[in-house]
Structure 1
Amino acid sequence: MTGPTAALPLHGWVVSVDLWGTLITYGDRNAEAEWRLREFETVLTAFGHDVGPDRLREAVLAVRDDTRARQRDTGEQPPVRDQVMEMLTALNLGSLDPVHEQRLVDTLLIPHTHAVQRACPEVFPGALTALWELRQAGARLVLTSNTLATPASVSRLIMEERGLLSVFDDTVFSSDIGIAKPRREIFAAVASRSQVPLQRVVHVGNSPTTDIAGALNAGCRAVLLTHRDKRCDHDVPVITALDQLPAAILALCAAAPGAA
């Protein structure tokens, strides 16, 4: 292939980028957790369930920690409705009328899925500039993110409010796919939807396990972004700020077999 498009150094490459901890901060997680608990207590009381703050905290946080660990270890993607149902089971509310239970779960889903907005996550410095530089170099950009309490719809809203959504050609969220990183299938979905082989996908993320090991095991290339000197046992480029990302991607792709 000849012409101006083919001359771009990243033409034919896909750069897959993680969201949380890579492009945006986690924000104030305590504020997120406390707001969810307050809203849950208000809803449960309105539905006639006086569970007490300590019992509620124990149940909600136990399910949160368990689902997070299962996702990181196995790539399981628990639907948000199932997460709320598990919390109600942990609260041991007894036998509930099906209609009452459905209305209760529907109501609790709202604070559960929107609590992250109380954390006020912010875009990391240099994120937008780095992404636009990669686009200008010819790369196709795909946002590849795990979700738990925050589904794809809310994640896209957060991205749009921060000017990130329009930069990407595609978004692949685990809640849409039904599986999560580090599973090979989520990286395969990125490649398939982009119509490139897995070895032409470079995944960028902040987790040595879900992002880096997951991408490499799938046959992709990877770049680790670390803000806190995370240990990585894999031989991949490591950057400490997003303004280093375009150079790292360009060097990695240029060194790939058959890149020329």
Structure 2
Amino acid sequence: MKIKGVSFDFWSTLFVLTDEKKTWLVVKERMLKIFSEYGISLEGEKLLDCFREAMAICLDKQENHGLEFDPEEQLQYILARLGIKFNKEMFESLYLAYTTTLLDVPPKLMDGAVQVINELAGLFSLALICNTGRTPGKVIRQLMKRNGIFEQFEVVHFSNELGIAKPNPEIFRKTLAKLNLSAQEVVHIGDNPLTDVWGAKSVGMRAIWFNWRKEEKQVDCDLEIDSLWGLKDKILNLA
């Protein structure tokens, strides 16, 4: 059946964190400053440990259960682990520090992403399906707009806004419904064999594994690529 729609993963497909450690250190310093303003003294390494725990829970819920552990829940978990009581004003300040760092320390666009998105937008209906992690959809939309690709997408789905995450089949079904296309008419592109490839194929979509890391493993995909360049012709050849 002819391909009419293309859905993309966000992280490590369209954008990539070049220095995740640096990003977490910036988040740490911003949050420590807020704690200090409220008279709370805290060891930076202890805060980083809580970040790691929260993200481990988030990834487990998403990848193994298809559920979401959104940034607000992550921050609540971190504060509970630290035994810190907070009021609404303090929580809102910490939430901004925790979730918006990438606006100041932005991720890098994957090579060819803008050109390929612009090229595909003239031929296919485009969708984004993103497991959000620490950075909510509200912030990711800003990153996309800054780089001139947001308007090309007819559908944008973020796990923190839907309460479900890839590889949950329901997030793919919701995307298909919004596109008003059948599963056989849409191909999904992403770097994660579980959340992207398996998730898409579980509802009957075709799946392209973006193996830019050049991992040597067998993945049940319809096509494997290591670059976004030339994607239009490769999708057309799938039809």
TM-score (norm 2): 0.93
1:46 Cα offset (Å): 1.4
1:67-146 matches, cutoff 5 A: 67-93=58-84, 96=85, 100-137=86-123, 139-146=124-131
1:123 Cα offset (Å): 1.5
1:226-245 matches, cutoff 5 A: 226-230=211-215, 231-245=217-231
In the aligned structure 1, how far is the partner of 2:103 from the partner of 2:38? 25
**Are residues 26 and 232 of structure 1, via their aligned partners in 2, closer, same or farther at CA, if it must alter by over 3 Å?**
farther
| SS state at 2:230 partner | helix
In the aligned structure 2, how far is the partner of 1:43 from the partner of 1:232? 47
Letter in 2 for 1:14: G
**Are residues 235 and 157 of structure 1, via their aligned partners in 2, closer, same or farther at CA, if it must alter by over 3 Å?**
closer
Residue identity (%): 27
* Number of residue pairs the alignment of both structures matches: 237
Q: What residue number does 1:52 align with? A: 43
**Are residues 55 and 125 of structure 1, via their aligned partners in 2, closer, same or farther at CA, if it must alter by over 3 Å?**
closer
Letter in 1 for 2:90: L
In the aligned structure 2, how far is the partner of 1:57 from the partner of 1:126? 34
Q: Is the 8 A contact 1:28 1:120 kept in 2?
A: no
**Are residues 55 and 243 of structure 1, via their aligned partners in 2, closer, same or farther at CA, if it must alter by over 3 Å?**
same
In the aligned structure 2, how far is the partner of 1:56 from the partner of 1:127? 34
Q: What residue number does 1:22 align with? A: 13
| SS state at 1:15 partner | strand
2:52 to 56, 61, 78: 61
Letter in 1 for 2:107: P
1:23 Cα offset (Å): 1.1
Letter in 2 for 1:166: E
Structure 2 runs not aligned, ≥5 long: none
Instruction: Specify the structure having the higher radius of gyration (Cα).
Output: 1
**Are residues 116 and 68 of structure 1, via their aligned partners in 2, closer, same or farther at CA, if it must alter by over 3 Å?**
farther
Letter in 2 for 1:160: K
* Alignment of 1:166 onto 2:157: no
* Alignment of 1:222 onto 2:207: yes
In the aligned structure 1, how far is the partner of 2:71 from the partner of 2:47? 18
| SS state at 2:156 partner | strand
* Alignment of 1:42 onto 2:46: no
Q: Which runs of 4+ in 1 moved over 3 A?
A: none
Letter in 1 for 2:73: D
In the aligned structure 2, how far is the partner of 1:235 from the partner of 1:83? 33
Letter in 2 for 1:82: E
Letter in 1 for 2:145: E
1:61 Cα offset (Å): 2.1
Structure 1 runs not aligned, ≥5 long: 1-8, 255-260
Q: What residue number does 1:152 align with? A: 137
In the aligned structure 1, how far is the partner of 2:66 from the partner of 2:14? 21
Q: What residue number does 1:258 align with? A: none
In the aligned structure 2, how far is the partner of 1:142 from the partner of 1:159? 13
In the aligned structure 2, how far is the partner of 1:64 from the partner of 1:46? 26
In the aligned structure 2, how far is the partner of 1:34 from the partner of 1:235? 36
Q: What residue number does 2:173 align with? A: 188
1:208 Cα offset (Å): 0.6
**Are residues 190 and 49 of structure 1, via their aligned partners in 2, closer, same or farther at CA, if it must alter by over 3 Å?**
same
Deviation string 1:188-235 (CA, Å, 9 cap, x unpaired) is: 011101111222221000111110011011221111111111334204
In the aligned structure 1, how far is the partner of 2:15 from the partner of 2:42? 35
Measured on the aligned residues, the alpha-carbon RMSD in Å equals 1.6
